[in-house]
Amino acid sequence: MPNADTKLQLNGVDVVSNQIISVTQIPQLVFSPRINDAGLGYATITFKVYDGRDWSARDYTVRINVLSDKIYMPTLFSPNADGANDNFIIRGGEGNIEKLTLRVLDRNNNPMYESSDIIEITTKGWNGKKDGKEQPAGAYLWYIEGTYKNGKPIEFNGKKTGVIRMVR
């Protein structure tokens, strides 16, 4: 059975506890995964196996992680050290990004931040500083360049550029 917030259906009907699903029906199973804090889908499904004569003595559990080929770009961040949205971080795409570069420019096209470190971009990001100095509140241009592991280019809503607003 799927976990509490995961919906597992067979031919459009919810799967219930102790329901028998044959091997030929497996391709018709559809699940709607739970979403974690990073916006990625996952499901944990526990089941028993039937060999035509008897059920397995123990349960088997499978965790399914949905690799995202979508990223999420915030429109606002507030580097005020309150612990909420203090950094401009790219979310989503975890585990599926081959390479990624993030650049942030001010309104005069001066570089404020640049990184090609996927871990840094998706966990630390830009803190609103340039050379250790806090930058003023306002609109900044971001630019992304990269590819997913399947070779598809990384874009956000079909674009490689956008605006991030910083408030203090």
Note the pLDDT tens digit of each residue in 105-114.
999 999 999 9
Confidence category of residue 1, pLDDT binned at 50, 70, 90: very low
At 17, phi and psi to the nearest 5? -55, 140
Q: What is the mean pLDDT of residues 109-135?
A: 96
Give residue-wise pLDDT tens across range 9-46: 888 888 887 788 887 887 787 777 776 665 567 777 88
Q: Alpha-carbon distance 79 to 157, whole Å?
A: 25
Contact criterion met (CB below 8 Å) for 43 and 33: yes
At 118, phi and psi to the nearest 5? -55, -45
**What residues contact 103, with CB distance under 8 A and at least 6 apart?**
111, 113, 114, 142, 143, 144, 145
